[in-house]
């Protein structure tokens, strides 16, 4: 994997929390940021002139988002807009660029922030096995904000989520808080409470079987965390 943070951006969506978090994380870990946007004009045919106008508008919107985020002295940022369905654009970019982590928004009106089945976030989580961060409107503070990890490992079983969280705590200087899923009656509620109370930088949780991670009715831990937490949730794939 490259030292690269890939963040998927919907040009028409106003919130920049995912972009802010990605830049904060890249700065703390000495990585570059790649902003990826899918450009899709719909099914109807349009004139070449109108097509170019829409593409130019998308570039302007992305530039405005980048300008709205304080990047002075921070990580290097580059952006790309690719014509195609946003989901496939993000997935193709991940395969081509091989980033260390993928960052997406989780709420809003369409585009990259949709976690519904078939949405961009759902498919990215479903198809990729690298860490994926889901950022809602409260981006947290990378430097100084706590790293909360929900450890669901049993016995001597390896815990990729805990290992990743330990690394995150070390590189950011953020304190680590470990919650034992087996001994906490409602670990999701406790993680959310601590996250809000201490302005957590992230909540790290492992997921086995990414294909069903967003089936909220099943009560999966990771899915519930995404649904209920206002803090960035880092999903670490657990093989098996």
On the question of a common fold for 4-135 and 147-238, the answer reads yes
The counts of H helices and E strands in the chain are: 7, 9
Please give the chain's pLDDT, 240 residues, in tens. Answer: 789 999 998 887 777 888 989 998 998 899 999 999 988 776 556 677 777 888 888 889 888 888 888 666 678 999 999 988 888 899 999 999 999 999 988 654 334 444 544 466 677 777 778 899 988 766 656 776 889 998 765 554 568 889 999 999 998 888 999 998 776 678 889 999 998 888 888 999 986 544 444 443 333 777 788 878 888 999 887 665
Q: Report the alpha-carbon distance of residue 124 to residue 115 in Å, rounded.
A: 10
Could you tell me the CATH superfamily of domain 4-135?
A: HUPs (3.40.50.620)
147-238 topology per CATH: Rossmann fold (3.40.50)
Nearest to 132 by CA among 106, 110, 158: 106
Domains of the chain, residue spans: 4-135, 147-238
The CA distances from residue 109 to 116, 135, 164, 215, in Å, are: 12, 15, 31, 20
This prediction has a pTM of 0.85
């Amino acid at each position: 994997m490259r030292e690269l943070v890939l963040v998927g951006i919907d040009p028409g969506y106003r919130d920049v929390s995912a972009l802010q978090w990605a830049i904060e994380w890249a700065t703390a870990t000495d990585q570059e940021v790649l902003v990826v946007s899918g450009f899709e004009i719909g099914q109807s045919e349009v004139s070449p002139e109108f097509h170019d106008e829409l593409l130019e508008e998308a570039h302007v919107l992305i530039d405005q988002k980048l300008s709205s985020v304080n990047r002075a002295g921070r990580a290097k940022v580059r952006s790309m807009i690719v014509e195609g369905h946003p989901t496939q654009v993000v997935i193709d970019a991940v395969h081509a660029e091989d980033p260390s982590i993928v960052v997406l928004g989780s709420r809003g009106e369409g585009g990259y922030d949709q976690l519904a089945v078939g949405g961009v976030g759902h498919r990215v989580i479903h198809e990729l096995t690298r860490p994926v961060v889901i950022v809602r409107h409260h981006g947290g503070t990378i430097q100084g904000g706590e790293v909360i990890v929900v450890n669901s490992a049993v016995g001597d079983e390896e815990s990729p989520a805990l290992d990743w969280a330990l690394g995150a705590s070390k590189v950011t200087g953020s304190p680590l808080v470990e919650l034992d899923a087996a001994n906490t009656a409602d670990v999701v509620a406790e993680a959310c409470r601590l996250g809000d109370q201490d302005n957590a930088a992230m909540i790290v949780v492992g997921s086995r079987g990414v294909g069903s991670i967003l089936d909220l009715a099943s009560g999966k831990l990771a899915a519930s965390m995404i649904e209920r937490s206002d803090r960035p949730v880092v999903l670490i794939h657990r093989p098996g």
